[in-house]
Every structure is written in structure tokens, then in C-alpha cells.
Structure 1
Amino acid sequence: MKRKLSLFAVIALVTSLFLAACGSGGSEGSGDSGGSDSGGDDVFRVGMEAGYAPFNWTQMDDANGGVKIDGNPEYAGGYDVEVAKRIAEGLGKELVIVKTEWDGLVPSLNSDKIDAIIAGMSPTEERKETIDFSDNYYNSDLVMVVKKGGDYENATSIQDFSGAKITAQLNTFHYSVIEQINGVSQQPAMDSFPAMRVALESGIIDGYVSERPEGVSASSANENFAMVEFKEGFETSEDDTAIAVGVKKNSELTDKINEILAGISEEEQIKIMDAAIENQPAAE
């Protein structure tokens, strides 16, 4: 009888300790996680494709300031990564890069899987309906990436691409402007810039719409590519060709990020971008 009572006592003690532990864990989990489902207040989780050089790319080590990708043996580098570092430092947080497909960036932000999008994203009116944006941290122009020595390398107007097979990335304003080209053969949008480069190399398309930094990057990485800048280009709004940080609606991060971005001059932006173009992996 004595042994049975002791056993009951042990069971009761273990049960009470288990319940106390659960209660304690629940209390900690109910605190503000800083907009991340696993990050905590000391972590700044940034979403990006890591596939849009020179804004962001994937590399195998920490060369040239690469940052480890969360849950992945690879690293992320590029202009966006350098800007993300500045913001994380200004916020007093540890930077965590979350590699995310382009279409998944806004849903990941709104479901608190990431704290911000720093991914060469333009603050278009359509996107502003679902998320907020910081001040711009880069401004660019639209270009066309084509085959070097091909029929379109010397184009000066978008109308020179009449009849050409042209595409752009899925769910970007780049794709929507293609219809401004009279008689263009608009091809299905593609998921990523690496996919478009492969399609261009193989002749599936004649060109793809991009922004100048990516165009410089593509032509630098592949000697078979050329970037076409236009005298008569696409009609766009200022927001379309700007790049900004995406944050959740009414986030307290917006003002803090703007303060940090204000400390990066236009001259310094160009310097960071030039370094990103120079440092991009050859395969990007």
C-alpha cells in the first residue's frame, strides 16, 4: 500500500510539473514576436527570392558579405542583402534571410512568416492595397534583355520589338507594359529571371523586360546577352520603377525603416549597386 501511494505521488508530481511547463511556455508565446512566427524581438526576418541579381541572389558561401539563408546551407547576396543589413543594424536586430518564391512574398508577410520584403519590389498601386511600403531605396528604368548580335540588339524604341516574342516575370508590372508594343508576340509570363535567361539563351523568346540593374547583370554574366536602353521607352509611373521595402499595413516598422534609409545617400546607393553587379556569381 505504501508503494502504491508513492507511485500516485510521483504521477501527481510529474503531472503538475508538466502543466506548469505548458503554462510557462504559453505565456512566453503570447508576447509580441516582432511580426515573425518564430523570430522574436531580436530578429529581423527578411523575405526575398535570392534569384534576381544584382538585387539578390543565391551563393554557396559568405563571400562578399553573403548572409546565411534560414534553414538552408546556401547564402544570399546582392544589393537587397546589403540594404537589409543596414536596416537590421539600425533596428538593433539580427538579420535572417528567408528565401521565398516571388508569389509567396506578400502572403508570407501578411501571415507573419517574415517581417519585411526587401526583394527589388516596386511599390505599385496594386500592391499598396494589401501592404505598405517604405520610402524608396533605389530608382531604375525599364530595359529589354536580348541576344547579342541578334535582330533586336540595336533597337532604340519599344516599337522596334513589333513581332518579337517578349515576356517578363509573373505578377510584375514588367509583364503588364509589354502590351504597349504594337504587334508584339507576348509570351506567357515566367516564374523567375533565371528561367527567362535560359529561355532567351535557347531562343524560346527574343527578349524579356527588366530593370537596368538586372539588365547590366545579365549582360555581364553572359557574353551572349545585350541590354537595350530606349530613347522611346515604356510609359510607367514613378512608383513602378522605384524599389521599396514592403511591410505589413500600419506597421510600426515603416517609420523606423525610413529613418535608416534616409541615411543612405543616392551616391552610396549607386556605390552599393555597382559592387553588387561586380560581385554577382557568374551563373546569375
Structure 2
Amino acid sequence: MKKLVKIILALILIITPLGQVNASEEDTFRVGMEVNYAPFNFSEVSDENGGYPVANSPGEYANGYDVQFAKKIADGLGKKLEIYKIEWDGLIPALTSGKIDAIVAGMSPTAERLEQIDFSVPYYHAKMVVVTQKDSKYKDAKSINDFEGAKITAQLGTFHVAMIDQMAGVNKQESMDSFPTMIAAANAGTIDGYISEEAGAESAVAANPKLTYVTFDEANGFETNDEDTTVGVGIAKNSPLTEEVNKVLSSMDIEKEQAEIMGVMTKLTADEEESAGFVDEVKSIWATYSTLFLKGVVNTLIIAIVSTILGFLLGLLVAVIRGMEVKKTDNAFTYYLH
């Protein structure tokens, strides 16, 4: 009987922590994002502007349009939000493996992605524009066909590249690898413009006084589809969470929320003043990321000091043993060290 009681108690001790873990997971909404795609999601060093701590990157905070919507969804679900920083290519694998519950990362429901995961109803609708210089002859264009002869580019690997073909008579340029690269080219005048969605264009213009962007009405703008221009929450196939998230989103005024939140986020990510040179840029980077940098330096020094001490002690031990006189009666360990 005593053995049986002990077995039962042991099982209770084992099962109880597991139950606590499962209960904890049920109360948590684990969201994955890059934390590197402003104004949708970006990194901060504090929660001063409404940032949220990144669970797998201590000392780092995530903010942006995606973060604010993730908070609203978590609140609607009655769960605690946890944000995980994951590279873009690793988001879907992290979701399908159960490491996260959802992807809230400016991800569109393309046909390829829909084969792997499900998506909620949209929480963002993109409007396509052309970014150009304020003094460009194309700044007052009313139609995408008013750019004849213009050197136009778009980001490599995006549907924006194919949209250039809708613009009559333009000089299509080689695709560029990132938005910062295109912004630099537009500032320098090596291109006449690039295609962007409006939120990204607002951020670029706010940070670069030489730039502006051109919008178009529905009849004179780009032809797009929901697969390209809407953003939804990525959720595992056939998960009941999809219906729950849809219920939360359906109770919100998405158009109103988009205008308010995106406006705030684009202002946060923009530097309103022109850079006065390399030194000022370094000062700005230091002011923003100095805390993370100093923590990295301290951690590196600790690892270096501990490694040096351990290496010294190990070396001293080997030196002492090798300095000992080896006798036939010594054990094999001492003999081989010598």
C-alpha cells in the first residue's frame, strides 16, 4: 500500500507541472514577426512609445502596426501577448511546428502560403503609390500612365516589379534589393521613382524631405488583387483560433484603426530632420541602440574573462602534471599528459 501511495504521489508531481505549462500556453497568444519591417514592425530599446517586450530577445521591444493589432487581438481573446522575433523565412515553419500561435507580420495571403497555413480576415489594406522627388516633373501625375520616359524600379522579389509593366512608356530599371536602397537612389536622382505601398511611402517621405509620393484614384491607379494588397493573421491549418481571431477583427473598424495606428507608426519611424552628416548619424544610432550595445559588450567581456580563467586553470593543471617526474608506477592518465 505504501508503494502504491508513493507511485500515486510521484505521478501527481509529474502531471501537475505539465498541467501548469498547458494552462499557461492556453492563456498566452504567441505571435511571430521580424521586428524589422517598419512601419509594420520594428525594434525599440524601451516601451516608451508603446513598445512590447520581445520574449526571445531580452532588452528589445517591438512596436509598429502589427504589434498594436496583435495587442488588440490578444485582448479580444482574453490572452497575454508574447512576441517572438523570427526571420521572415522562419515564420511559417515556426507556426506549423507549434512554436508560435500566429504570424502578425505584414504577411499577405498568397496562393502559395495558403497551401501551408490559414489566414484571418484582413487587418490591413494597401494602396499602391509611386515615390519620387518633390521637384520631379512627375510629382503632379494623375495616372500611372503619366510617367512616360521615367526611370522606375521596385523591390526585388515583390509583386511591385510586375506592376511597373502597367505603366505605359516607362523606362523599367533593374529591381533593387531593399527599400533603403531605392530611397537612396531616389534621393540621388539616379531613378525617377519607385513603387511602394502608401504606409511605406509615408515613412520614407517623413524621413527624407526631398521626396514625395503620388497617389491615384481607382480608375487611374494600379490594378491589384487582395492576394497582393491585403494583410492577414497567419494561423495553423484548420485551427479553431482562426474563427476566434476573425471574430475579434470583425468587431473592429479596420479602416479607422488603420488610419489612426499607421499614422502614429510612420511618425515614430521617421526622422523629421535631415541628416547633417556621418557624425550625426552615428550619434542617432548610439542614442537609439546604446543600451543594447552596452549589454552586448558586458556579456562579451564576461564570457571572455570566464573563458580566460578556465583556460588558465586548465593550462596550469596540465603544466604541473607535465612537470612531475614520470615513473613506471604512474597511471596512464598522468603518463599521457606528460
TM-score class, shorter: 0.7 to 0.9
Output the amino acid matched with 1:256.
Answer: E
Q: Which of 164, 167, 172 does residue 185 from structure 1 map onto? A: 172
Q: Which amino acid aligns with 2:96?
A: N
- 1:280 maps onto 2:277 in alignment: no
Q: Is the 1:169–1:193 contact (alpha carbons within 8 Å) kept by the matching residues of 2?
A: no
Structure exhibiting the larger radius of gyration computed from Cα positions? 2
* Residue of structure 2 equivalent to 1:268: 257
Residue 65 (structure 1) shift: 0.9
Where does residue 320 of structure 2 map in the other structure?
Answer: none
TM-superposed deviation, 1:264: 1.6
Distance 1:162 1:176, change over 3 A: same
Taking only aligned residues, the RMSD between alpha carbons, in angstroms, comes to 3.4
After superposition, the Cα gap between the structure-2 partners of 1:175 and 1:69, relative to the gap in structure 1 and judged at 3 Å, is farther
Note closer, same or farther for the CA distance 1:205–1:69 as it changes in structure 2 (3 Å cut): farther
Q: Give the corresponding residue for 1:214.
A: 200
Given the alignment of the two structures, is residue 164 of structure 1 paired with residue 156 of structure 2, yes or no?
Answer: no
- The alpha carbon displacement at 1:137 in A equals 1.2
1:28 to 18, 32, 39: 18
Question: Equivalences for 1:106-125 in 2 at 5 Å?
Answer: 106-125=92-111
Is 1:65 equivalent to 2:50 in the alignment? yes
Aligned residue for 2:122, secondary structure, equals: strand
Instruction: Tell whether 2:113 aligns with 1:127.
Output: yes
**In 1, distance between residues paired with 2:117 and 2:230?**
16
Task: Spell out the pairing of 1:241-256 with structure 2 (5 A cutoff).
Answer: 241-256=229-244
- What fraction of aligned residue pairs are identical, expressed as a percent? 45
CA shift in 2, pair 1:269/1:188, >3 Å? closer
Match of 2:41 among 41, 49, 56: 56
Number of residue pairs aligned between Structure 1 and Structure 2:
258
State which drifts further: 59-68 or 41-50: 41-50
Contact 2:27-2:79 at 8 Å conserved across structures: yes
Change in CA separation of 1:184 and 1:124 when aligned onto 2, cut-off 3 Å? farther
1:73-84 equivalence runs, <5 A: 73-84=59-70
> Unpaired segments of 5 or more residues in structure 2?
1-9, 272-283, 285-338
Partner letter of residue 55 of structure 1?
F
User: Do the aligned residues in 1 keep the contact of 2:119 with 2:234 (CA within 8 Å)?
Assistant: yes
**Larger RCO, structure (CA 8 Å, separation 6 or more):** 1
> Which one-letter code corresponds to 1:41 in the other structure?
E
Q: CA deviation at 1:57?
A: 1.8
Structure 2 counterpart of 1:272, which letter? I
Structure 1: segments with no counterpart, 5+ residues: 1-19, 34-38
- Letter of the structure 2 residue corresponding to residue 264 of structure 1: M
TM superposition shift of 1:162: 4.9
Question: Which of 63, 72, 88 is the aligned partner of 1:86?
Answer: 72
In the alignment, is the contact (CA less than 8 A) between 1:162 and 1:181 conserved in 2? no
Q: CA deviation at 1:195?
A: 4.7
User: Aligned partners of 1:197 and 1:78: how far apart in 2?
Assistant: 20
Residue 238 of structure 1 is aligned with which of 226, 237, 243?
Answer: 226
Paired residue type of 2:26: D
Structure (1/2) with the larger helix percentage? 2
Find the residue that maps to 1:240 and give its secondary structure: helix
Shift of 1:163: 5.2
Measured in 2, the distance between the counterparts of 1:161 and 1:119 equals: 35
**2:123: which partner in 1?**
137
Q: Which residue of 2 aligns with 1:36?
A: none
Residues 69-95 of structure 1: CA distance to partner in whole angstroms, max 9, x if unpaired? Answer: 233232111111111001112223221
Contact 2:176 2:182 in 1 (8 A): no
Question: How much has 1:206 moved relative to structure 2?
Answer: 4.2
Contact 2:152 2:164 in 1 (8 A): no
Q: Secondary structure at the match of 2:216?
A: coil
Q: Take 1:96 and 1:238, find their aligned partners in 2: how far apart are those partners?
A: 28
Amino acid aligned to 1:253: L
| TM-score normalized by the length of structure 1 | 0.76
- Once the two structures are overlaid, the 10-residue window that deviates more, 65-74 or 142-151, is 142-151
